[in-house]
Amino acid sequence: MEFIATIILGIIAYLLGSIPSAVWVGKSFYGIDVREHGSGNAGTTNVLRVLGTKAAIPVFAVDTLKGLLAALAAYLIPGVNHSAESFGVVKIAYGLLAVVGHMYPVFAGFRGGKGVATTLGIAIAIQPAGALVAFGVFLAVFAVTRYVSLSSLCAGLSFPLSVIFLLGEPMLSVRIFVVFACLLLFYTHRKNIRRLLNGVEPKTSFKKKG
């Protein structure tokens, strides 16, 4: 029973991550597919650039909730010791399945976003203090530079540093996850890194559209 529940909840986590909030908001309220505009990415940043703040806020909220709820779904597995290392592994695995769903959504032709907000949701579920530090770093860097990509990279780098060295996270699974999350962030932002180095990365501002 426990094994079956674990598999079913894993599938649900992927399907939850596959909810293409950016695509649905763009098509439902603005009549456009954001993947055909701007960077072509189905995420908060591209929605902000193409559709404005009013559209970006709910997209960010939903994408973050996807990671948070997927990770918390591990609590629905019957008979699991919540303090065990294996439970932490399952929480992370479910969250990562949501990220995979966000990047390759079955409900939107497997063309999704980079998973930054969804990864933030996982971080909130497993290490809220570290997530708060990373979010604070993001806001600080964005306030100064107006580069969402640079802000995301700095926040991603601060996450494992704060969790491992500042907060002294004891669980090995969490320490591995925060490092992996940072590396994944840098990998998915490799084009942005090149544009930043070449001085051609566009800045972003909060604005109203439509």
Q: At 122, list the tokens.
A: 């996982």
Q: Percentage of the chain with pLDDT > 90? A: 86
Say yes or no to pLDDT of 210 above 60.
no
- Total Cβ atoms within 10 A of residue 128: 10
Report how far residue 71's alpha carbon sits from residue 90's, in angstroms, rounded to the nearest whole number: 8
Average pLDDT, the chain: 93
Q: What is the pLDDT of residues 4-21, one digit of tens each?
A: 999 999 999 999 999 999
Per-residue pLDDT band for 82 (boundaries 50, 70, 90) equals confident
Is 198 a residue whose pLDDT tops 60?
yes
pLDDT at residue 208, rounded to an integer: 59
Question: Which tokens go with 195?
Answer: 């544009």
pLDDT at residue 207 in the model: 58
Please give the average per-residue pLDDT across 43-47, as a whole number: 92
Residues 109, 110, 115, 121, CA torsion sign: positive
Tens digits of residue pLDDT in 130-169: 999 999 999 999 999 999 999 999 999 999 999 999 999 9
> Has residue 87 got a pLDDT over 60?
yes
CB atoms within 10 A of CB 114: 25
pLDDT at 39: 86
pTM attached to this predicted model: 0.89
Look-up of token digits 């998915």: 188
Contacts of 115 (CB under 8 A, 6+ apart): 43, 99, 102, 103, 184, 188
Structure tokens at 98: 């949501």
Cβ–Cβ under 8 Å, residues 2 and 9: no
* pLDDT recorded at residue 206: 64
